[in-house]
Amino acid sequence: MKIAVSGKGGVGKTTLSAFLVKWFAERGKKVLAIDADPDANLGHGLGLKGAKDILPISKMKELVAERTESTPGSFGGFFKLNPKVDDLPEKLAVPSGNGVRLMVMGGVKKGGTGCVCPESILLKNLVQHLILRRNEVVIMDMEAGIEHLGRATSQYVDCLIVVVEPGRRSVDTALKIKELAGDIGLTKVALVGNKVRSEKDRQFLTESLSEYQFLGFIPYDEGIIDADLNGVFADSVEGRTRDGLEEIAQNLSSMSKSTNPQP
Ligand SMILES: Nc1ncnc2c1ncn2[C@@H]1O[C@H](COP(=O)(O)OP(=O)(O)OP(=O)(O)O)[C@@H](O)[C@H]1O
Ligand SMILES: [Mg+2]
């Protein structure tokens, strides 16, 4: 099962990703948690001590240079477009307890014309490998864009979850992401409404995004903020918040049971 999580900044992508990682792990699955957001904090969300000290893959200059056969730190020049990446999950994923391993991708500095630099090629190939070739559950916490996904991988993504909160900007971002997804042939897109304070909030979301499927809703819960501050989120949610998250995870796992192409 391959899941990517996207949405506007601060909507709750990392919170949801961390919960899903733990949820699948608790059901005995091997899970690869991928932090594909340059402002990496999925490790923190998972309660992993020392998460902020993990060196992101894009910052591993020697590795990037070796695999892409490029000159370290260079933008121009030649480099390999299909670097070897299949050994990287074993080498670089950090054990995070309960069958979970974490990979931190890191950011890529933008070049003048788009971004075809050795780092971005390595990351893109790595994401493609994770989605096409791995048997684990892969959960990818992404930024608002879906740059790491490409046409080659899109049909093997079981679900692109777009997290939305009650607010116009978050809805606009969701629509934009949905459009980008369509451009690369990714059709399995579903929404999660987060920080929902009332029936009115919920209605705002379902009406603004009436054409899209919602996996479920998570209430606004100060307990999540407190737990985040203490780095213990996924274990400590309860009540309606847990019910909302459980429903999302259940809906998600039944989605993956529908027919999927095999790479
Ligand atoms: N349901 C909720 N109720 C209250 N606070 C929440 C809820 N979900 C997330 N938060 C809080 O909102 C903040 C942002 O959440 P989170 O880091 O998960 O978002 P994000 O989309 O990953 O952000 P970023 O774009 O910065 O990576 C955190 O402080 C988190 O504790
Ligand atoms: Mg985040």
CA of 12 to the centre of ligand 2 (A): 7
Q: In sequence order, what are the residues at sequence separation of 6 or more whose Cβ sits closer than 8 angstroms to the Cβ of residue 180?
A: 145, 146
- The four Cα atoms 168, 169, 171, 172 give a dihedral, to 10 degrees, of 110
Question: What number does the ligand 1 atom closest to the CA of 16 have?
Answer: 18
Q: Is 225 near ligand 1, meaning CB less than 6 Å away?
A: yes
pLDDT at 102: 96
Protein residues within 5 Å, CB atom, of ion ligand 2: 13-14
Q: Is the beta carbon of 90 within 6 A of some atom in ligand 1? A: no
User: Rg for the chain (alpha carbons), in Å?
Assistant: 18
Q: Place 109 in a pLDDT band, splitting at 50, 70 and 90.
A: low
Atom of ligand 1 nearest to the CA of 144: 25
Model confidence pLDDT, tens digit, residues 32-63:
999 998 877 899 889 888 888 999 999 999 99
* Ligand 1 site, residue 11, Cβ cutoff 6 A: yes
Q: Is the pTM of this model over 0.85?
A: yes
Task: Say yes or no to pLDDT of 259 above 80.
Answer: no
For residue range 206-222, list pLDDT tens digits in order: 999 999 999 999 999 99
